[in-house]
Structure 1
């Protein structure tokens, strides 16, 4: 029987998940910022400024197309070999691709090969981050005490605004200490090259933690699923689709907040790059602070109450976000972004344990990753590109606002359904699955009992 590592601290594992995830999302977000600020003229110089920005955001979306592939491949091996090894693999892939982008020649140097190489490396980034989320979340959740799974599961969720904060700080420091010309010529490369050091730090931390005890239990019992993704698609297609729909609204608004607003504020409203980076940075800090608070609340009061409150607030706030930003008044721009960040945090934090609860430990990496990454394609994968196209077509932010509201409402409905489903499918105490912390078992497989708003 394999050692259980009884002395391992859930906080240590959760912190390691946070650090590694923050590094990966830093890598992912600096691409979005560079796409908003410099990739148009650097890699698509023959296009008009608006069309060049649209082309840059199109390459940005390629990463989202790769994310389900990363989730499927690493989910497969994460359910068969272990969570930890896939976290190390994803970090190496992401770091290699990000440093490679920092070394890329531009269109003026190698012509069409420049955007081709850019798209290729962005695809590799997508594979890396696609396999990252599920492993980081499961390591945190599966090491956590049952009554604090929401809180500990929020640590990798905090890695998203953590990476955004780090990306904004680095871009602010570089852009504020260089002339505009120097930043466009070579300064934009610095954040990408700095990733090499961050990846080394993340790897040292990740290698130091132990494997998930729930995966070890599955492996010791000889219950490892040989084809976990096939099992997920055959037995849990509804859960995957509901998970994707539940996440779509948060991810859409999140990527408009994190990436599109930077381009919109500087290009369309004439606001300074430093101002937009600063207000985004403040919003990211608020987002990070709200995630663990909301997740801890979900441990005490139930996922359903917290998620439905946050999702409703997000749908309402998206209706006023662009009207506030369109004033071009710094204080009102900040208000719009802060409100968005708060509701993003409330809806994003508890989703980690919610998605984990939809699948048994044998297929949890594959199932949770697939739902999350499909939601990311439908959400953030389209958001910056579609927002840019909608504004260009109407010369108004009104269609962008309508788009955000509709997507948020769709996610609200999906969350209402999936959280009700989880509530009525908590394993009874006398079933074999009851010890599988939070596992949700299909009706046909296990006896279930209804509980009020189970955490």
Structure 2
């Protein structure tokens, strides 16, 4: 059950903040994050190469589009340092508002950008700038949402409270893919045969970017009504803030930074393999080393992913209960071991000669189930590794540096591996990434009973 309210120890005379408000405020950021990721990833393949870059060389345009997509991964660690500084200096509430506005405004503006035919090279330049701004906002968003959840949690139920921002991931995934699928069907768009002046390419693709403003407005309304978390308020009262959180976290918590980064690597690698790389493999854009390739249509594949993401959502919630009952470390060790086993089964599950809709759906469900189990406790264990006065900065850096190691390179490495060595070795790559996470988990103590007010 959701707690009814959280009292503000800074102003005990004020009415307590409803738990539902905290849940929505922490969940809305990750919902926007993953909604943004998927609408941008889809547009980077279907739209941006045709509209924002010079025509004539389709491969160069696609690579240029992917380059703007990758800018967010460069910006995210910068955003984690920037927003982490203010989050540890002035508070969680104000910083969460700032990160949400940075991310939301940039996403909305992308939906209004002029194309290459209208303004020339200014178009890709503006696209790259807005993508960088998205990355900055995203870099500060997750850790703030995680801290809002954990630092207001009821004793013994911190992983369950921390589960709510993680639940935003499948929500954003579902609505992004669902909206694009609806547009593709409604406007009768086919990426291979539709002309350049098709309604989807003219204006339809802009709808998801503009629609993100609705989520931002709701999130902003809720966040402006929050008070500061009791844990941070207590640190302020006791004079335990630091002037330079980045320097302090590197000096005093460098081991936790390294451990936290690699604890997250398996999660990121798994997610980008079962959501991004698998699309190119499943729709037949990339051949296996044997020369065989799959031939799902893009719309059919989206339907399978939408079904599988429901398992992602359910098992995020399951993971919150399990991590509170058995501990974060013990639970994640078991899940990470299962990810290793899953990776070693790629050769048989994804064999092109036996592939059909049912087998692909099974693969996606297994991947999304494991994703929910490993992703759910991350917003508990990463903040719990760090003391209050550097928690925003430390957890944010770990989360976002891991995105470069585990996420940014995963689709490219997997694409190269499947073309040269076969699909089974993609699973080996995932298993190796999971082994680094397993080792990192062994290097830390259980954080279930950690006192978050401890400096």
TM-score bracket for the superposition, by shorter chain length = 0.7 to 0.9
Q: Is the 8 A contact 1:95 1:195 kept in 2?
A: yes
Deviates most, 316-325 or 233-242: 316-325
Return the alpha-carbon distance in structure 2 between the equivalents of residues 109 and 400 of structure 1. 41
CA separation in 2, counterparts of 1:45 and 1:256?
Answer: 30
Partner of 2:319: 294
In structure 1, how many angstroms separate the alpha carbons of the residues matched to 2:342 and 2:161?
Answer: 28
SS of equivalent to 1:199: helix
Determine whether 1:313 maps to 2:313. Answer: no
**CA distance in structure 1 between the partners assigned to 2:398 and 2:203 by the alignment:** 38
Q: Is the 8 A contact 1:27 1:94 kept in 2?
A: no
User: Is the aligned partner of 1:256 residue 2:273?
Assistant: yes
Aligned mates of 2:10, 2:319 — CA distance in 1: 35
Q: CA separation of 1:116/1:263 partners in 2, compared to 1, >3 Å: closer, same or farther?
A: farther
**Inter-partner Cα distance in structure 1 for 2:66 and 2:424:** 20
Residue 93 of structure 1 corresponds to 102
Q: Which residue of the other structure, out of 232, 235, 238, is the alignment partner of 2:249?
A: 232
Q: Alignment partner for residue 439 of structure 2, among 401, 410, 413?
A: 413
For residues 399 and 165 of structure 2, the distance between their equivalents in structure 1, rounded to whole angstroms, comes to 14
Distance 1:282 1:408 in 2: 25
Residue 37 of structure 2 aligns with which residue? Answer: 28
The alpha carbon displacement at 1:385 in A equals: 3.3
The unaligned stretches of length 5 or more in structure 1 are 428-433, 442-455
SS in 2 for 1:143: coil
Picking from 198, 207, 210, the partner of 2:215 is 198
Contact 1:243 1:372 in 2 (8 A): yes
CA RMSD of aligned residues (A): 2.3
- Is the partner of 1:147 in helix, strand or coil? coil
Following the alignment from structure 2 to structure 1, what is the Cα–Cα distance between the partners of residues 341 and 305? 20
What is the Cα deviation at residue 37 of structure 1? 3.0
Q: Are residue 245 (structure 1) and residue 262 (structure 2) matched?
A: yes
Matched, 1:271 2:291: no
The aligned length equals: 428
Partner of 1:3: 11
Displacement after TM superposition at 1:401 (Å): 3.0
The match for 2:289 is none
- Superposition TM-score, scaled by structure 2 size: 0.88
Q: Name the structure 1 match of 2:388.
A: 361
Q: TM-score, normalised by structure 1?
A: 0.88
Distance verdict in 2 for CA 1:266–1:37, change over 3 Å: farther
Unpaired stretches in structure 2, ≥5 consecutive residues: 1-8, 286-293
Distance 1:235 1:44 in 2: 46
Q: How does 1:367-406 map to 2 (within 5 A)?
A: 367-391=394-418, 394=420, 396-406=422-432
Q: Is the CA contact 2:345–2:424 (under 8 Å) kept in the aligned structure 1?
A: no
Contact 1:20 1:203 in 2 (8 A): no
Q: What does residue 445 of structure 1 align with?
A: none
